[in-house]
Amino acid sequence: MRKTVFAFLALTATLLPQIAIGKSKVPVFVEAKRVKDSPTVTLDSAKAYILLRTPKAMPIHFVKIASAEDQIAYDRLRNEAFVRAKEDYAKDLVRYERDMALSKKASGMKTPRKPSEPIETSFQFTQFAQMANFTMGPLNRFFSKGGTTYLHEVTPGKYRIFGQVDPLVSGGLCYCMGSVTFQAEAGKITDLGTMGVDPANSGPAEKGDSSSPRVAASALALEPVNDLTPVDPRLQSLPRIAADLRAAGKMANYMGIAISRLPAIKGVLSYQRDRIIDEKAVPADVAPAPDIAHAEKSSAMQ
């Protein structure tokens, strides 16, 4: 919890010059904290839970996809910042014209630089992903014997796996050239499965594929939850569903770190050189993810 709060404060400090200029209070788009390694686990029906297994302690960074309400709040912040930028421009323009008039009268005076007028279509503002994110690990593990298990309580919503990176050290790997999204439902544990070594990426990259994760040897593959995935006994009776993973497109590398992509996932995500293939893009709706806990309980009763 302490690490999560510190990460949020550190990120907020970097945003203040851009987002504190409006009149609206900056909303908290994502609240996240780890579930403690305790004898019993209870779920808050208003919160969502994300479960992930990794081979060792490591950071996995997530960003929230803006909901309709999130987008309205974000657009309001951006619009207020743009209005303030226009007001500042008007003041800067007055100073520029004054200084320009003086420079024409005084020999040797440096010609002032004309300020650039803010334009709505190109106005630079903090990205939504920079305001709505959280990191699992490398500390605060839910279970650490025979591997690592992370379990976090988060704001319900749609998330994207951003990459293997800890914002506090500004290093790691961004899955900016391809990743997955999933829905984290309130009152349920969304089981992402297991991160592990990807043997398919041990060889050289395909010619013409500039986004291959082979460039970064530390890139791991995500194996979705299946019947053989181990489950902590404390979680078996709780509402737990397999994450409905969906292919996600390319996104901006707002951390300025090494760029790669999440390796292909059968039936979910694949690549044709740099092109992302959504393997769930079918005409009919895909059936919802099964309730694993309910299935396990039913099997045990038979």
Band of pLDDT at residue 267, cut at 50, 70 and 90: very high
Lowest mean pLDDT among 38-42, 76-80, 200-204, 237-241: 200-204
Rounded to an integer, what distance in angstroms lies between the CA atom of residue 135 and that of residue 7?
9
Q: What pTM did the predictor assign?
A: 0.78
Let me know: does 166 contact 184? Beta carbons within 8 Å.
Answer: no
- What is the distance between the terminal CA atoms of the chain, rounded to a whole angstrom? 41
DSSP per position, 170-215: TEEEE-TTSEEEEEE-BTSEEEEEEEEE-GGGSSPPPTT-TT-GGG
More confident residue, 291 or 193: 193
